[in-house]
Each structure stands twice: as structure tokens, then as C-alpha cells.
Structure 1
Amino acid sequence: MNTLTGIDLPAGSPGGSVELLRDLYLAPDRPIDANVFMLAGGEAREEAEADTVRPASGGTSPVLLSVPGKQSAGPGFWSYVTALSAVLRQRFAPGDHGVVHLQHLTFGATPALLRAFPDHPHIALVHGTDLLFAADHPTQAEVLRETVRRATAIVVPTAAMAVALRALADVDDRRVLHIPWGIPDRLLAAPPPRLPHDGAELRLLYAGRLTAEKGVSDIVTRLIGIPGVTLSMAAPVAEYRALADRLDLTSVRYLGWLTRPRLWQAFSEHDALVMPSTRLEAFGLVAVEAQACGLPVLHTPVPGLAEVLGDSALAVDFATDPGAATAVVTGLRDDLGALADLRSSGRRNAARFPLSRTASELRALSSELAI
């Protein structure tokens, strides 16, 4: 039973939903058998060719579709959806697929797939960006409501995402299923060896997008300048440059946008990951991957992320309680035993979320619904 899925982003684009797509459908071992599409061209694809930007991981490559006119709002959005739907019908035969996986509740690929293959069962996977965009943009709110109405099943990675979804749309709870996201089993089995802490300084790391809801400005202003504390960032090139235009980042160590193995290695070279998100996180894959590598996590207790990490990480309000954030960081700097305890609890937490479980539950659901 083959699956059709895809995201209307250029190959090489950053983001957790793209990483999950690669892990589930494009990895060398192909946990889920699928035809996968992404978009050809675009700035993200050009950046993916740079050494400092994360390229697509090995394994099966997605089908690249050329569809002009992409936008996220207004009448032009629906024209783009119509064009993408037509290309999907031309490229993929309906009879070749038993089920369609919608990688978002919003954005262009989801309504295009619903229109191109209206008679197939549709399993929608919910990400944090879906709900954030639907809350902020009327066009995407319309897309979300249509998807919720038409999807055969809606998969949420955390209970918090189901709660947030209900605030945006009328949802039939019988169609909402909880399947946690997962991280590669190979990482859980054989994480990179950790570099020992030399005691000289506390090495903090931020890894991810630099969009406003990630709250990176807060850690820059709160943590830079604390004696004995250094901050590194692994982030997309263009986003880092834009941040540097607004803030003084001269004391930040910029690592680039790293390949997946290199990111895991960076986890082993630091003492704590900081996640200062100001709004909900669907799951927090980067946090769980960091924990698998023995890297403690400091995070704002936003919905989704707080649920996944529980008491295995330290909750810190970077935005509104700078004194507490400073106290937590300096406490870790001065207490190597606390870091060791967090490493142990983090590894135990990460072990709860193998990608094989995610893939197995999605395959079972797909087989149950497939035509």
C-alpha cells in the first residue's frame, strides 16, 4: 500500500516538518513507502547547496515540482493551489496510492492534495506552524477549517496540539488520534560520544529557525555577557544574517545550518540546549534529539514542548523573568552534578520516542483506512 505525500517547500528548506518528512518517507530505510514531492527552485534550494546549510539527507529523493506563483494569502493563494493541484494530478496517478498523508493542516500542498485526490482517505499530520499561521492569517484559518472538515483522520503529536486545534476549529474528536513524533532509532542506539566538560565555561547552544516565535532575541539579551557562559547558534544563514542586523552577535559562535550528523555532533560538544520559544511547539524534535545525545535542555514551558519534556528538562521563562533565567544558567555553570542529572533524565525521556514507533503507528492507521 503506497502513500502519497509532500510539502510545498523547496528541497533544502529548514524546519521540523521537513525533517520529519525526510525521516519517515525519504530515509535510506524508508520507514513508510511513499511517493513524496517538494518544490523545485527557490532560495531555500539555492542555500541547500552551500556548505553551511543543511542538505537533504540521504535516501530517496522527493519528486520536485515546478509551480509558480506561491503565496500564503488572498486570491493569489487559491490560484496557486489550483495550479499545484493540476500538476499533482498530472504527475501522480490516483490508482497508485491507497492513502494521502497531509503534512500540514494549512499551506498550499494540503488543499491541493484534497482537490487533486478527493476520493482518497486523507491523514493530516498537525504541526505547530499550522496553528500559528491559522491564528494569525485568515486565509490559512480557512484552509485549516477545510482540512479539519475533510480529513479522514487528524494526527496530533501531543495532547496540547489537540487542545490548541479545538480553539481554532470544530473538530470531531473521534477523528483525532495521538501519535507522538519520533527521532531516528540509530541515534537512540548509538549517539555520538560526548566531549568532556573542561570546567572552564558553560557552553550553551541554540539550534533551529530564527523566526519571531522562537524567542531567540530573549536569550541573546539575557545570556550574552554572563561570565563563564558562551552561546553558539546553528541556524539558517539568511535568518542569522537578519538577526545580526538587529542585535549585536559578535560574541555568538555561529555554526551555520548543520547537516543532521553534524548537528548531533554539536550536541555532544555543548553543555545545554536553550529553547526560548514564546508560543506553542508541536513536539520539539530538536530537544528530544539533543537529549538523546546527552545534552540537557533549558526551555520556555510552552504547550507541546512542556508536555514532551516533562521533568526531564529545566523550564525557564526567558522572556519575562530574566533574573530567574540568569540564576538557572549560572547555577548550571557552577554545578556539574546538576548537568549530569539532567543528562541522565534527558536520555531516559528521549528513549520514549523512537521513530520506528511513529512509523509503525502511521502505517497501521494508513492500512486501516486505505482504499
Structure 2
Amino acid sequence: MEHRLFPDGTPGPVVALANPSEPLFPDPVPCHQNSEFLYVGDLHEYKGVFLLAEAARCAGVKMRFVGSGLDLAKLKVDFPEHRFDGWQDRTGLERAMAKARMLVAPTLGPEPFGLAPVEALLCGVPVLASDSLLISRDICAQEMGESFAAGDRDALVAALAGLSADDDWVAQMASNAKTGARHISLSSQAWCDALLSLYRDILQSPSTTRGTERLRAPVAT
């Protein structure tokens, strides 16, 4: 994110802290036994939901959308074969996640962090994300999911079709997510501790970033 925060190339005193998130379940989801792909979030064109709905149709996979937004009504009309749950509370989200094979994050524009993908990973559900989601590179590096070029329908179709048929690979990614998810997200307590430690360092030495290296993580808040 530093090139976006400092477009003129002048570096600033940036310390990256992974955002906090908590798993929805105490035990991982047996996702390789499921057939349904899941989207969670705002239903708006910018998020790539039309691209995803069309790609899922072409790939012949089951798609479940959880969330509300400006384009919900049009999506329902244009893609009646998909399931649209609307906005859900935590219980509803848990029901959907328990049935998920993978979570898909097809955003068309840059996003530094996605709560739904991280929550899925913490549940042992792999993630298929566009490369506009900046944590997609970390997800792929940990082999917790796959990535595709943002806006590339054909690439998304191919990924959905392949992942719908490869139970072993989905199970392997799910296994990797059990431990790898914490590399891109902190627990609530760890996040609070890291913030307090950072503030303490700033107060003790306001002109330096002494002691902040240990707080660095691959995701910016």
C-alpha cells in the first residue's frame, strides 16, 4: 500500500498491522465435501458480482450470494439460478459458510484487506480472489487459495470449473488455511496488544520508529 499512500515516492513512517478477525466456528469446515461457492459482501458491480454470477453460470457451479446492495434486484433477475440470501446476521453467515466449498472475492478495484475472505480462511474455507484484493498474493503464497486477474471472466470460469472438480486440492488448501490464516490476520487480543505496543513506542521515542519492526505484518490496517 505504500506506493498508494505516498504516490510521489517519498516513504513515510508506516507500520503495518494485520486487521483483527475471529473464526466463526471452533472447528474447520469440511469444505472439500461441499459443492457451493460463496460470496459475502456488498452486492455492487464494483465488487465484481456480475462477473462472478456470469462466470459461475458458464462454469456450471452452484453460487450463493450473502449480502445486500444496490445491484441485488438486478442480479436476481439476470441470474435466477443462483441463490441470494440477502443480508444475514452472524447465525445466517455461519449457515452459509458451513456449506461453502470456497469463498470467492472477485473485486474489480483495489482493496487492501477483505474481512470475509479472512473469516473464511479461519474457518478452513479456501479463497479464490481477484488480484485486486491485495492480500490475494499472501493467500496464494501460503497456498490457502488461488487468484485470477481482476475482470478476466474466462480466467474466473476456468478457476471455478477446476476447483469444483478437484477435491484433493481444495482439501489441501483448507488444511493450509488452518495455520496460514493467522499470517494475514491477528486475533482481537493480539491486535489490541500490538496497537498498545506501537503507541508506547511512539510516546517513548516520537522521532523514531524504534521497536516497531516486530509489529510488521503483510497487511495494512
TM range (shorter): 0.7 to 0.9
Please, what TM-score do these two structures have when normalized by structure 1? 0.48
Determine the C-alpha separation between the residues in 2 that align with 1:267 and 1:281: 22
SS in 2 for 1:299: strand
| 3-state SS in 2 of match to 1:204 | strand
Letter in 2 for 1:219: L
Cα distance in 2 for partners of 1:330, 1:170 equals 41
Give the letter aligned to residue 208 of structure 1: G
1:341: Cα distance to partner?
1.0
Q: Which residue of 2 aligns with 1:190?
A: 26
Aligned partners of 1:219 and 1:318 also within 8 Å = no
Q: Which amino acid aligns with 1:365?
A: L
Cα deviation, 1:232-257, whole Å, max 9, x if unaligned, reads: 10112x43534437x61311111221
SS in 2 for 1:343: helix
- Which residue matches 1:329? 160
CA contact (8 A) 2:32 2:101 kept: no
Secondary structure in structure 2 of the residue aligned to 1:314? strand
**Hey, what does 2:6 align to over in structure 1?**
166
Partner of 2:146: 314
Where does the alignment leave 5 or more consecutive residues of structure 2 unmatched? Answer: 205-221
Aligned residues: 200
- Over the matched positions of the two proteins, sequence identity in percent amounts to 23
Q: 1:211 aligns with which of 41, 44, 53?
A: 44
Equivalent residues of 1:291, 1:346 under 8 A apart: yes
The 2-side partners of 1:340 and 1:347 are apart by 11
Deviation of 1:357 after TM superposition, in Å, equals 2.1
Measured after TM superposition, the shift of residue 204 of structure 1 is 0.8
Q: TM-score, length-normalised on structure 2?
A: 0.77
For residues 83-119 of structure 1, give each alpha carbon's deviation from its aligned partner in whole angstroms, at most 9, with x where no partner exists.
xxxxxxxxxxxxxxxxxxxxxxxxxxxxxxxxxxxxx
Matches within 5 A, 1:146-295: 161-167=1-7, 173=12, 175-184=13-22, 187=23, 190-191=26-27, 193-194=29-30, 197=33, 202-227=35-60, 229-236=61-68, 238-244=69-75, 248-295=78-125
CA–CA separation in structure 1 for the residues paired with 2:140 and 2:81: 32
Deviation at 1:225, TM superposition (A): 4.5
Listed one character per residue, the Cα deviations across residues 270-305 of structure 1 (whole Å, up to 9, x for unaligned) are 101111111211112211110111211111112522
Aligned to 1:39: none
1:338 aligns with 2:169: yes
Alignment RMSD, CA only? 2.8
- In structure 1, list runs of 5 or more residues that go unmatched: 1-160
